[in-house]
Amino acid sequence: MDAHGAPALVWFRQDLRLSDNPALAAALKRSSAVIPVYIWAPEEEGAWPPGAASKWWLCHSLAEFSAALERRGSRLIIRRGPTADALSRLAAETGAAAVFWNRRYEPAVAVRDTELKSRLGQQGLLAESFNGSLLYEPGTIRNQSGQPFQIFTSFWRACLKRPIVPSAQDTPHWLPRPNVWPGSLGVVDLDLEPAIDWAAGFREAWCPGEAGAKRQLKRFLEEALAGYHLNRDRPGVVGTSRLSPHLHFGEISPGQVWRAVRERMGSHTAACQSYLRQIGWREFAYHLLHHHPQSAGEPLRPEFANFPWRKNSRLFRAWKQGRTGYPLVDAGMRELWSTGWMHNRARMVVASFLVKHLLISWQEGAAWFWDTLVDADLANNTLGWQWVAGCGVDAAPYFRIFNPTIQAAKFDPQRAYVRCWVPELESDEDVPPPIVKHGEARDRALAALESIKRK
């Protein structure tokens, strides 16, 4: 069958949007009908299936995306995996001759997708994938020796010399539909919502979906971008974009964000440059994960494989619950539990506290973040934890140990953040003493570092 005229399946994953979507644009250009598909197959994501907070977001994002499709005369077909079987069956049911999708770069998923493309091709289907989630393909940016970059500044300088991924077409007003729609599960059938309603704070804080992403970008551009370079490290101020979960689920593309911020460059140059650099760190995270797929669970600096991490369930529980006795650490962990998100400065402080004050491994912290963050992203989560732990490339050295009290005084001087999330401090009721003393913890951490140097 002619792939240019027959119906096409568009397989959506972490690209739940209609605008600036290259896979959808290709299908609309080449096919007589477009069949949007979502396949739930968490068992195919290796050691990192979506965590609880991610599943909550996905549930609402899928519902919003499905409604957006219906407003354009289409619908979202939902199936369960295995993915290869589900796509093959759908192609047979609909007469589709092509499958289009936007690439993902997590190691287990990338391997699965490569095998899938080969299998679909053997079945006579056209299978094409596109870059819909990054400014640059992670395998294309290399240093002059042809090797992957290890330093962010050099990586980003090389990126800026290249054109970014061009935009795809605007949001389609109407999607051509097949003569007969195949059967579909409902979003509710995926059991993504928690059985116990712990997500009330999530609903108050977030509006998943493409429309919510565009509103969040508009708010950032109008209310926070001008002061971003001054306020981005202050957790008590709404000074960041809060676009990370929308970017992770592809409800907005990094290209859309990039172009919107660049348009403000003339009037807010310093702020725009500061923010676009953070987009660059996101690119660097994917660059590192692509070239070091083992890094999600193993330190990039091999000497850290011998680091004397400790197991202490009592201290780990106190950290997770925001009961460490250090107000900034506790505020960050409580914000995370309540909203599924944490300010980036707080993330650095709480992560440093876990791996350096408590000597609990960064892998345990990364796993907790993976389950509790609505923006849990394997590349960024891995980069952040290895950076703090000092075991990644271009990382903060391990001997740089944040003092949580000094960090609070510097970045939350009016105590707005701490007062919001640790209100008992105002009345001095039920305030736990610090679970470790900073000076003693610092000495233990430095001694642990010396032990791996000797080895």
Percent over 70 (pLDDT), the chain: 98
Given pLDDT bands bounded at 50, 70 and 90, which one contains residue 74?
very high
Q: C-alpha 418: how far from its chain's center?
A: 25
Residue 169 pLDDT: 75
CA distance 254 to 265: 16
pLDDT digits 0-9 by tens, 124-134: 999 999 999 99
125 and 143 belong to one structural domain? no
Region 247-265 average pLDDT = 96
Q: Which of 109, 132, 155 is the last residue of a domain?
A: 132
283 and 332 belong to one structural domain? no
pLDDT digits 0-9 by tens, 18-49: 999 999 999 999 889 999 999 999 999 999 99
pLDDT higher than threshold 90 for residue 177: yes
Region 87-92 average pLDDT = 98
Given pLDDT bands bounded at 50, 70 and 90, which one contains residue 415?
very high
Given pLDDT bands bounded at 50, 70 and 90, which one contains residue 1?
very low
233 and 318 belong to one structural domain? no
pLDDT higher than threshold 90 for residue 307: yes
287 and 329 belong to one structural domain? no
Q: How many domains is the chain built from? A: 3
Region 367-382 average pLDDT = 98
Percent over 90 (pLDDT), the chain: 91
pLDDT digits 0-9 by tens, 268-291: 999 999 999 999 999 999 999 999
* Distance set, CA 52 to CA 267, 347, 379, 385 (Å): 41, 19, 18, 20
Residue 275 pLDDT: 98
Region 207-216 average pLDDT = 98
Q: Which residue has the tokens 């202490």?
A: 312
CATH of residue 440's domain is 1.10.579.10
Residue 186 lies in a domain: no
109 and 139 belong to one structural domain? no
Average pLDDT, the chain: 95
Across the beta sheet with 77-80, what order do the strands follow? 77-80, 34-40, 8-12, 98-102, 126-130
Kindly report the pTM of this predicted structure.
0.96
Residue 170 pLDDT: 80
pLDDT higher than threshold 60 for residue 445: yes
- Structural domain including 64 reads 1-132
153 and 242 belong to one structural domain? yes
Q: Of the candidates 447, 363, 362, 439, which has an alpha carbon nearest to the alpha carbon of residue 399? A: 447
116 and 142 belong to one structural domain? no
CA distance 138 to 122: 27
146 and 260 belong to one structural domain? yes
127 and 157 belong to one structural domain? no
Residue 331 lies in a domain: yes
Residue 183 lies in a domain: no
Region 57-80 average pLDDT = 98
Residue 41 lies in a domain: yes
Q: Of the candidates 219, 254, 195, 246, which has an alpha carbon nearest to the alpha carbon of residue 60? A: 246
143 and 263 belong to one structural domain? yes
Residue 242 lies in a domain: yes
408 and 443 belong to one structural domain? yes
Tokens of 432: 């736990």
Region 252-264 average pLDDT = 96
CATH of residue 150's domain is 1.25.40.80
311 and 352 belong to one structural domain? yes
pLDDT higher than threshold 90 for residue 425: no
Q: Which of 108-117, 271-280, 288-297, 392-401 is predicted least confidently?
A: 392-401
